[in-house]
Amino acid sequence: MRESNVPLKTLAERLALPGLCDLERTLNARVALSQRKAPDRNELIIAHYGANSGSPVVPLLQTYGELRLAQESISARNLLHQFEQAAISTSFEVLKGFPVEVNNTASMELVAAEDLESAPKYLIELATRHRGHLSSAGPLVVYGQPAFETVEQAVRAWVPLRPFHGSSDGRLGSILIEVPLAGPRLGAFNLESEDSLRVAIKGSSDAMPIELSEVWHSSDGNLVETFAHPIAGDSVVVARPPTADQVAMWLVRRDSIVTDFFIENPHRCTRKQRILFPQHAKVAEGDPAIEIDAGEGETTELKPFIKLTSDKIDEVVRTVVAFANTLGGTIFIGVNDYGEVDGIDKELWDATPKDERKSLDECAKNYCAEIRKTVLDRVSAMPGVRVDIVRVRDKRVVRIRVEEAKRKPCSDVIRNEFWIRKGSNTRRPDTEQLRGLMAERNSFPGAFD
């Protein structure tokens, strides 16, 4: 549940609503920024404030030339004051003594509680006006401090965000804040019979009436049933339609603010473990939803929609080359920087010339064909590549499956570049690695036939 372009004044007013947020919670901040002398300003690389139930962190500042890696603890209430000030001055102090210029709007997303011990939270993303970069030269070696080969490696190790896409990560230049909610939330689910379910409610209060809204439906589309239950105690019994295999529930205050939600369907469950439909836990091997949920790794790359005419298509080619030179892998296009499936429909339709718009299916088919043509034109020693559309959580996603090449090394013939995969990173091979790829090529009979 994501809201975009929320004015900072509105955001501060939301966080300050009585009984909504846990403003006394301590948040632990990890910040990476560049402190420029000319011009005299702080350029944020990335900042993350994570909700923490343990002890506050010890304040720490590590300096590598212009790069600053810092940590400290701050209360959610103090951050609320920061938002109130930023709404007036467009200045936000990411750490004491380190102000950065910010935009006057932010995005905020409600993240559901994933188990009975955790609370739902707002994930707030606030962009800064001067973004720091990861391109500074390394190594970063300072006496008494950890050493890193590059700025990107230092930031990756410092900020606890996974997956992290390095220089192509859309969160660079942003302040990311987790604010736990204190308001009512969903508790345990207990099946009282085949057609009834008791839902526990935690933290309800007579001062703010709430209700549980829900929709049950079936995968074949033959069933859609909606209910709304006013909450008068610490639990509520709801009807469970026998043919339903999907459900979405929202806990809503009288002012229409949602404080928690629960979704369970064949491809998604907001709790760590499935509750109502355990049969969905056994998903066929190779299900794209499972691969996406596992995040980026040596054989998986996640990307948002990419225009065929943009420079971002180079990243697709690089990853194809890297997968082919390593173990093979799969690229999914239509997944945002948080690992959430956005799909490609809207961006694809907007990017397609009006005179070529027939249907989304046709646009998607042409898009896949153009990606495959680009790969065929640019990748040498062509590995096996299949490009198709898959449905993930009812959204179109492009899947590019790349086989490990038998004729190594593969390269981008337009850029004359070689790439390999190392963990979740695509990088250039060093001299020894390139020799190793050549040796693999020579080990295949008929490799040069």
Q: Please tell me the predicted confidence (pLDDT) of residue 441.
A: 53
* Two tokens, residue 208: 């703010």
Quick check: 262 pLDDT over 80?
yes
How confident is residue 285, by pLDDT bands cut at 50, 70 and 90?
very low
CA dihedral 331, 333, 335, 341 (to 10 degrees): -110
Q: What is the pLDDT of residues 201-243, one digit of tens each?
A: 998 888 889 999 999 988 777 888 999 999 988 999 999 898 8
Residues 266-290 as b/e (b if ≥16 CB within 10 A, e otherwise) read bbbbbbeeebbeeebeeeeeeebbe
Percent with pLDDT over 90 in the chain = 48
> Torsions phi, psi of 257, nearest 5?
-90, 125
> Residue 344: its pLDDT value, please?
93
Top mean-pLDDT range of 28-32, 111-115, 292-296: 28-32
CA distances from 312 to 277, 297, 305, 306 (A): 40, 20, 10, 6
Residue ranges and CATH numbers for the domains of the chain are 2-180 (no CATH), 185-279 (2.60.40), 288-442 (3.30.950.30)
pTM: 0.65
* Cα gap 18→259, rounded to integer Å: 13
Query: 392, exposed or middle or buried, with CB in 10 Å at 0-12, 13-18, 19+?
Result: buried
Segment 88-139, tens digit of pLDDT: 999 999 988 889 999 999 999 999 988 888 889 999 999 999 998 887 767 9
214 C-beta neighbours (distance < 10 Å), count: 22
Which residues does 391 contact at the CB level (< 8 Å), separation at least 6? 397
